[in-house]
Amino acid sequence: MPTPPRLHSAEDDLAFMRAIVEGGGKPQLTLAVAYLAGGLLYGLQCLFHIGQATGIIVWPDLANLAFVIGISVAFLSVLVWAIRKDKADGVGGTRGPLATRILNAAFSSAGMANVAVIIIFGVGAMRDQDFAVWLYYPAVVFCLQGSAWLLVYTLKRKPWMLATAIGGWVTAVALGLLVRQVDWYLGVCTAALFLLFALPGWIMLRDARAARRA
């Protein structure tokens, strides 16, 4: 007698759904590199501003401006390299695992919201001639990033993603309360950039490179 077909078990269904979500192909490097480079470079910039606030760093205005611009140029250069690397490897756009595309969509949405927030707080700070108004902007950025990380956590269920989401919200509240206390504000922002941007970026980059070698 022919062997009857095996009925699908719940484990089979879960394995099938996981395969759909995780998909195949090479994971992207762009988001991981953006987080790692952004956290390290802008964390370094915050350390620089702490040095200025404490009197350790006393540079001419032109040198200060050149340093700040250099940080952004370095970040954009690394980001362009990562994008070109992904493109050369045939990764990006609508390709890659569904989970990776959803992750990219979550952070792209947060990035679009950042543009509106920059305009709102930038115009408000110039109109009111109050730099503290601008300092609310990073607080909102960390809040948006925390929300994006929670979405990613619900998909991938990795504890470090939940920790990053909670850390983003805690940082947002702390920065919002410290806008009139610059020293504490810079300290919290520096720690958050290293722990909530650079560290997750390193984890994502490590996982992406391991997956590419597999």
- 77 is written with which tokens? 């250069």
Task: Give the separation between CA 92 and CA 5, rounded to whole angstroms.
Answer: 39
Average pLDDT over residues 116-125: 80
Higher per-residue confidence, 185 vs 214 = 185
DSSP string, 20-40: HHH-SSPPPSHHHHHHHHHHH
User: Do 147 and 110 touch, CB atoms closer than 8 A?
Assistant: yes
Task: Give the separation between CA 153 and CA 60, rounded to whole angstroms.
Answer: 45
Task: Give the separation between CA 178 and CA 132, rounded to whole angstroms.
Answer: 10
pLDDT score of 67: 95
User: Do 104 and 31 touch, CB atoms closer than 8 A?
Assistant: yes
- Where residue 59 falls among pLDDT bands split at 50, 70, 90? very high
Average pLDDT over residues 63-81: 93
pLDDT score of 5: 47
φ and ψ of 122, to 5 deg: -65, -50
pLDDT score of 99: 56
**Residue 68 confidence (pLDDT) above 50:** yes
**Residue 80 confidence (pLDDT) above 60:** yes
DSSP string, 134-151: HTHHHHHHHHHHHHHHHH
Higher per-residue confidence, 108 vs 30 = 30
Best CA proximity match to 40, nearest among 192, 198, 187: 198
pLDDT score of 17: 43
User: Residue 95: helix, strand or coil by DSSP?
Assistant: coil
* DSSP classification of residue 2: P
Higher per-residue confidence, 130 vs 33 = 33
What's the whole-model pTM score?
0.79
Segment 27-50, tens digit of pLDDT: 678 888 989 999 999 999 999 999
Best CA proximity match to 180, nearest among 138, 128, 130, 144: 130
Task: Give the separation between CA 109 and CA 145, rounded to whole angstroms.
Answer: 10
